[in-house]
Structure 1
Amino acid sequence: MASAPFPTEESVPPPAIAVERLGCRLGGRMVLSDIGFSVPGGEILGILGPNGSGKTTLLRCVAGLQTPSAGRVLIDGDDPRALRPVELARRLALQAQDSTAALGFTVRDVVGMGRLVHRRSPFAGAGAEDRAIVEDALDRLELSGLAGRAVEQLSGGERQRVMIARALAQRPRILLLDEPTNHLDIHHRFAVLDLVRSLGITVVATLHDIELAARWCDRILLLADGRLQADAAPEDALTPDRLTAVYRVAAAVDRRPEDGLLRIDLSPLMSPRTEPSR
């Protein structure tokens, strides 16, 4: 049986995501301050910044898992916290970094959990369409050969692909990815991001690999100390001066002559003590 297609953006009025003057305080510290942006349907948005800049907290606010201290998030014009969990899960899927909740299950079981929100009843078994969608997700993430294996027997990269496959099995209109390339080898980094881009749905992803983000994303949000430093196309957001200010490294940015893709070279800042003598 052919698997059901991913929803298109034709019926979703833009913006798919709107974030308005968002602030978030955790443990007495302002983690995010005055963040605002919108994401039109079908766009691939990358969130970049050093550790502690607020990337994951921002993603959790968008997903409705973290309550903002100020401002608001709208998903298709609705507050995600006001939606029934099943309704939100049919619109939006989150791949989080923590895969411990999947322990004790097989790969196929975990990917199948993505279909629970589409069941008429929590007690209903998987139908033919559910099974076809699960097998499709396993195949897309190159997991079919591991489908019967327990998740705890997998490598970190394999677990990461399982969690992405579970999110894809939800068939969401909006996909939130928290460090999707974490633990992945080079082949699977490109394969996973190319797959996600091919779906034609709205994607927001936190990323550490700056050059990969420049290659894959339509737009970049650059965060530092919980504040928005840039919101622009990769070539406009990832300038040498901005990368130096945000990451405290020396940066050179140009384009590869063979295909025009951005090439970003980062190196430690030279201090007076380490600067070579002339």
Structure 2
Amino acid sequence: MSGFDLSGLTASFGGERVIGPLSLRIQPGEKVALVGKSGAGKSTLINLIHERVNRESSLVPQALGLVNALPVFHNVFMGRLDRHATWYNTVTLVRPFSSDRTDVRALLQELGMPEKLWMPVASLSGGQRQRVAIARAVYRDAPLLLADEPVSALDGPMAHAVMELLKNRFATSVIALHDVEMALRYCSRIVGIQDGQIALDDHSERLTASDIMSLY
């Protein structure tokens, strides 16, 4: 993989520019944390990157994008809908194939909720719903992970377990994180966003939490 060269990223709302124009090059194997205060443009930037790379990304949006009426299994399976023929997806809606059931259950096991496989998403807690969105992204297994505050609804131990899982499963990632310590611990590069522009871009090993807090 040659990496992702993202130039000319820009977004406006109501005639007012909120992001960019900015450029971001992501090298293969980089784990990038997007940091900055609420409203700085981190979520918008994640969405812009997703639009640019599209099918090459596994996305965990902040709004999660789950279908409440469907069970956990089908929400996770959606990560690979575009990899199967229409007939396969239609059959799966009624009677999933055993290999897919096994794969999704194993993923839920890693996330501490295998017993939720056939539960409707609407019945889950906020933290469980977030883990379903994470499972869908991991199941997709795309070259680039894009995640917007993926552990915001999880307690300490589970948040660290999920960040470890994402670190191990995706060689290359861009993760928007509010938690500076988490960003320094699990990401190799810190990109700070301020007023829609890149205000900081450095290797995490060269930074401390206080270096990043000036963005907040």
TM (norm. structure 1) is 0.70
In structure 2, do the counterparts of structure 1 residues 231 and 237 end up closer, same or farther at CA, with 3 Å as the change threshold?
A: farther
Does the 8 A contact of 1:175 with 1:204 survive in 2? yes
- Say whether residues 1:123 and 2:93 are aligned partners: no
**TM alignment of 1:29-68, pairs within 5 A:** 29-64=16-51
Letter in 2 for 1:95: V
Counterpart selection for 2:203 from 205, 227, 233: 233
Query: Within 2, Cα distance between the matches of 1:94 and 1:112?
Result: 14
Letter in 2 for 1:42: G
Other-structure match for 2:114: 144
The structural deviation recorded for 1:103 is 0.8
- Say whether residues 1:103 and 2:90 are aligned partners: no
- 1:221-259: CA deviation from partner (whole Å, max 9, x where unpaired): 001111111111124455635523x21xxxxxxxxxxxx
Mark the runs of 5 or more structure 1 residues left unpaired by the alignment: 1-11, 65-72, 81-87, 248-278
**TM alignment of 1:57-206, pairs within 5 A:** 57-64=44-51, 73=52, 75=53, 80=54, 88=55, 91-99=56-64, 101-121=66-86, 122-125=89-92, 126-206=96-176
More helix by share: 2
Letter in 2 for 1:57: T
**Which piece of structure 1 moves more, 144-153 or 231-240?**
231-240
Other-structure match for 1:255: none
Seq. identity, %: 31
The structural deviation recorded for 1:143 is 1.8
Counterpart selection for 2:194 from 211, 224, 229: 224
Structure scoring higher RCO (CA < 8 A, sep ≥ 6) equals 2
Q: Secondary structure at the match of 2:90?
A: coil
Does the 8 A contact of 2:144 with 2:170 survive in 1? no
Letter in 2 for 1:209: D
Does the 8 A contact of 1:222 with 1:237 survive in 2? no
Across the aligned residues of Structure 1 and Structure 2, the Cα RMSD in angstroms comes to 1.9
Mark the runs of 5 or more structure 2 residues left unpaired by the alignment: none
Q: Secondary structure at the match of 1:222?
A: strand
In structure 2, do the counterparts of structure 1 residues 191 and 241 end up closer, same or farther at CA, with 3 Å as the change threshold?
A: closer
Give the number of equivalent residue pairs: 211
Other-structure match for 2:183: 213
Letter in 2 for 1:134: V
The structural deviation recorded for 1:140 is 1.9
